[in-house]
Amino acid sequence: MTLPKVIEEARILSHEAPISGVDILTLTAPQIAQTSLPGQFVQVSVPADAGFLRRPLGIAEVSRTEGWIRLIYRQVGRGTRGLANGVAGTLVSVLGPLGHGFNTALKHPLLVGGGMGLTPLLFFATAHPNVSVLMGGRTKEEVFWEEIYHPHVRECFITTDDGSYGTQGFVTTLLPRLLADGSYDGVAVCGPPVMMERVADIASKYGIPCEVSLEKRMACGLGACLSCAVDTKSGRRKVCKDGPVFPAGEVYYAS
């Protein structure tokens, strides 16, 4: 089923920075909030002096009753740095919801995320009554996500590269032990390509279905410009329209 896409003039409700360079943006967008599904994204306008193209941002949370959406993003270029200057009350143009989301019809999924890949997985967590999460970061500061996820998950497992918090290592260090107990019926993963490839490989060895969320540079977000096209095992696909979520076994992971 193809869900309707709208352009809303959304008002900034709040703009917070949990750590330097990362922003949590909450917008009034009642039409988009009503139809969004976990794994989908929106295209957000940026100030004119920060570029002409909208920026694709994963939806982190929605409130269908209050009519807002929440986006969590890292400042990585001129566009997102310009967007980060937006203050409460400012209007931004938002196109969405876009893309194909996760399969949430699972009894006990395990979400696996690294860095900003935890953004679309958060929406999954808020929409599912029995989900667990395995998150990784370089340092304790980078897993600020724990506090955000805590109210929505059954269990939260954490790894850090430097061992400053949780288990020292990567998410793939802990993942085999978690899957070995046999209680998970699906894995959803988003993060760096090499991480997703390893997670998909481990899930396959345990016979557990796995979905991955790809990230590519986009222009239109509607499948017209082909800027986000990727080769998959079933042919050329558009990340914005056919994805960003794909079955793990269908994609190639070269960054």
Per-domain boundaries in the chain: 6-98, 109-250
CA gap 114, 136 in Å, rounded: 5
Whole-angstrom distance, CA of residue 142 vs CA of residue 128? 24
Long-range contacts of 205-209 (CB under 8 A, 24+ apart): 206/176, 206/179, 206/180, 208/179, 208/184, 209/103, 209/185, 209/247
Q: Is 80 annotated as a binding residue?
A: yes
Q: DSSP secondary-structure letter at 4?
A: P
Choose between 85 and 4: higher pLDDT.
85
Q: Is 156 annotated as a binding residue?
A: no
Q: Which fold has domain 6-98?
A: Elongation Factor Tu (Ef-tu); domain 3 (2.40.30)
219 pLDDT tier (thresholds 50, 70, 90): confident
Rounded CA gap, 91 and 82, in Å? 13
The DSSP string of 95-113 is EEEESB------SSEEEEE
The residues, any chain, with a CB within 8 Å of residue 73's CB and separated by 6 or more, are: 22, 23, 25, 55, 57, 58, 80, 83, 116, 119
Say if residues 137 and 113 touch (Cβ distance below 8 Å): no
Give the tokens for residue 233: 């095992």
Residue the block writes with tokens 């990784």: 136
Flag whether 190 is marked binding: no
72 is in an annotated binding site: yes
CA atoms of 226 and 219, how far apart (whole Å): 8
Cβ-based neighbours of 109, under 8 Å, separated by 6 or more: 124, 128, 131, 132, 184, 185, 186, 187, 188
225 is in an annotated binding site: yes
Q: Quickly state the pLDDT bin for 4 (edges 50, 70, 90).
A: low
Cα separation, 46 vs 99, in Å, equals: 20
Output the average pLDDT for the chain. Answer: 92
Q: What is the pLDDT of residues 12-60, one digit of tens each?
A: 999 999 999 999 999 999 999 999 999 999 999 988 677 788 999 999 9
Is 240 annotated in a binding site? The answer is yes
Mean pLDDT of 193-219: 94
* Cis preceding linkage at 4, omega within 30: no
Q: Are 159 and 139 a contacting pair, CB within 8 Å?
A: no
- CATH code 3.40.50.80 for 109-250: yes
**pLDDT for residue 220:** 82
CA 216 to chain centre: 12
Q: State the first-to-last Cα distance of the chain, in angstroms, to the nearest integer.
A: 30
- 228 annotated among ligand-binding-site residues: yes
With H, G, I as helix, E, B as strand and everything else as coil, classify residue 30. Answer: helix
Tens digit of each residue's pLDDT (9 = 90 or more) over 147-173: 999 999 999 999 999 999 999 999 999
Instruction: Look at phi and psi of residue 239 and say left if phi exceeds 0, alpha if psi is from -120 to 50, else beta.
Output: alpha
